[in-house]
Amino acid sequence: MGFAHCLVAITVGVAGSAVLFAGPATTADPASPGGSVGGSQLSGPGVDLSVTIPTGWHQVPDQVHPQLLQMVYPDNCTEKLKCTSAVAGMLSTQASNAQTAAQAGEQTIAGQPGIQGATVTSEGPTQIAGRSGYQVRFAFSTAKAKFQAETVAVETGPAASGMVPTSLIFVTVSDLAGAPPASVIDLIVSSAQLAAR
């Protein structure tokens, strides 16, 4: 049940946010007070990895699913998820293997109401933070925007009873005005490190 529950969290955190991208996008104003000075780490209790998020994003807690860590862009968005143009998130769970976890994450997002034309553009084994992993890159659209996204699952511990501790990173970027470039997906994913214990 743990992995299925976490996929619900992904649905809420990513797919739900993607549907909310339909609101107006705002452009980050470098002169605005309170803007980020540098990148920040997305990490937290119960998550086995951390990733570096570039300047211009801010963290959005999920009260219902606190194990889901997520940041949105831009950091001057005043209407919470209604004006986001990109989302990065992470959680740790148990899965039979990294491939199953990454594919299930993509399928969960692609199967949400309002998401159209989901297409896997590439997938395969990868190494993240020196660990075995699996990545699924895909594209989809809503009525208001097109998105590029990636789910990457990383095995972070030894298998026990047929299940492996696995962390899932996901990043999605829209084509809305003011959104970060799609290259930020690779930038965030490649920054993954094992969380300090």
The number of folded domains in the chain is 1
49 lies in some domain: yes
Question: Considering the domain boundaries, does residue 172 fall inside one?
Answer: yes
- Flag whether 11 is in a domain: yes
User: Looking at the domain assignment, is residue 93 inside a domain?
Assistant: yes
- The answer as to whether 33 is a domain residue is no
| Nearest-angstrom CA–CA distance, 117 and 14 | 16
Residue 32 lies in a domain: no
CATH assignment at residue 153 = 3.40.1000.10
Domain of residue 185, residue span: 2-23+39-194
Could you give the maximum distance between any two Cα atoms of the chain, in Å? 54
Q: Could you report the per-residue pLDDT of 96-147, keeping only the tens digit for each?
A: 999 999 999 999 999 989 999 999 999 999 999 889 999 999 999 999 899 9
| Entry pTM | 0.80
Q: Look at residue 84 and tell me if it is in a domain.
A: yes
The Cβ of residue 39 has, within 10 Å, a number of other Cβ atoms equal to 16
pLDDT of residue 94: 92
Task: Using a pLDDT cut of 90, give the percent of the chain over it.
Answer: 53
Residue 9 near residue 89, CB atoms below 8 Å: no
- Count the residues in the chain: 197
The tokens describing 117, both together, are 């034309």
